[in-house]
Amino acid sequence: MKLTDNVVRNFRVAKVFRENTERINNLDFSANGETLISSSDDDSIVIYDCQNGTPKKTLNSKKYGVDLICYTHAVNTALHSSTKVDDTIRYLSLHDNKYIRYFPGHTKKVVALNMSPINDSFLSGSLDKTLRLWDLRSQNCQGLMHLSGRPVAAFDPEGLIFAAGINSECVKLYDLRSFDRGPFATFKLAQDKDCDWTGMKFSPDGKMILISTNGQVVRLIDAFQGTPLQTFMGFQNTKGISLEASFSPDSQFAFVGSTDGKINCWNTDTGVRVAVFNCDHPGPVQCVQFNPKLMMLATACTNMAFWLPYIDD
């Protein structure tokens, strides 16, 4: 089945999970699309089976808390940032709930954590105004950049370059093999007066960058020229919180949650809002992601919802 405006409009909630008592702060699909991992403010990690639509395993991180969880390339290990004790990043074996390695260095809350799509490198950005490049095999940071504001960052799908968003007004592109020489491209964008950038993602085809904010706007820019392509507005964010924006696997659609519990979807090519979904999410929908392999959307507040296209016979 191919994703079209019409197929997207026919997405319906297939299942709602109430495994968490507090906000789900991050989710990540495995590369094969078979499982989904989530982290929550209640210090728990829940792994879901996407094919059966069931919770598979729950782990707890009561001591350190858990945020920004993401899979590494081995499906039984994950990285997460901490919400207690310190701002160390932790590398966890999901098989036996034991930590493999710690990555200390950040002195304030980690707000960006991205795994390279091709190898064991990962990026972290923190409110201490630094961006760090790491390798899973070493607890020592491989590279450190001091910035002038809150960083957002993302790897491109090839894993050869990464983008860093600085001060909510410019995007810098770095080559991973020579990032210490500085950016090879810098795009300056018009600054939003009433919001900050909180997230950044490359489209799966590598041609666009989606910038999410803590306001009522999401920006789409050209990944090569930095030119603005679309501005997505009209969704609710009355709390000034970070709302995740995500692409569909074919890069054709962008999904964003909202504080009124709805999910909004735009066509990235036309900029037209294709659908507004209502799921009865009781809280703000801060996490929205599309499965990389299956025709399935996941959205989360304190509850997790799985969406599938409902085809009328």
Q: What is the pTM of this model?
A: 0.93
pLDDT grade, residue 312 (50/70/90)? low
**Contact criterion met (CB below 8 Å) for 303 and 16:** yes
**Contact criterion met (CB below 8 Å) for 268 and 252:** yes
| Separation CA 63–CA 7 (nearest Å) | 44
Confidence check: pLDDT of 53 > 70: yes
| Distance in Å from the first CA to the final CA of the chain | 15
pLDDT grade, residue 289 (50/70/90)? very high
- Which of residues 139 and 191 earns the better pLDDT score? 139
3-state secondary structure labels for all residues of 150-163 = CCEEEECCCCCEEE
User: How high is the mean pLDDT of the chain?
Assistant: 92
159 is written with which tokens?
Answer: 């894993």
Mean pLDDT value of segment 46-67: 89
- Which of residues 65 and 289 earns the better pLDDT score? 289
Closest CA to 187 of 202, 165, 208, 204: 165
Closest CA to 207 of 158, 152, 274, 272: 158
Domains of the chain in start order, with CATH, are 5-309 (2.130.10.10)
Predicted confidence (pLDDT) per residue in 210-232, tens digit: 999 999 999 999 999 999 999 99
Predicted confidence (pLDDT) per residue in 21-39, tens digit: 999 999 999 999 999 999 9
Predicted confidence (pLDDT) per residue in 227-283, tens digit: 999 999 999 998 889 899 999 999 999 999 999 999 999 999 999 999 999 887 889
Predicted confidence (pLDDT) per residue in 141-159, tens digit: 988 988 888 899 999 999 9
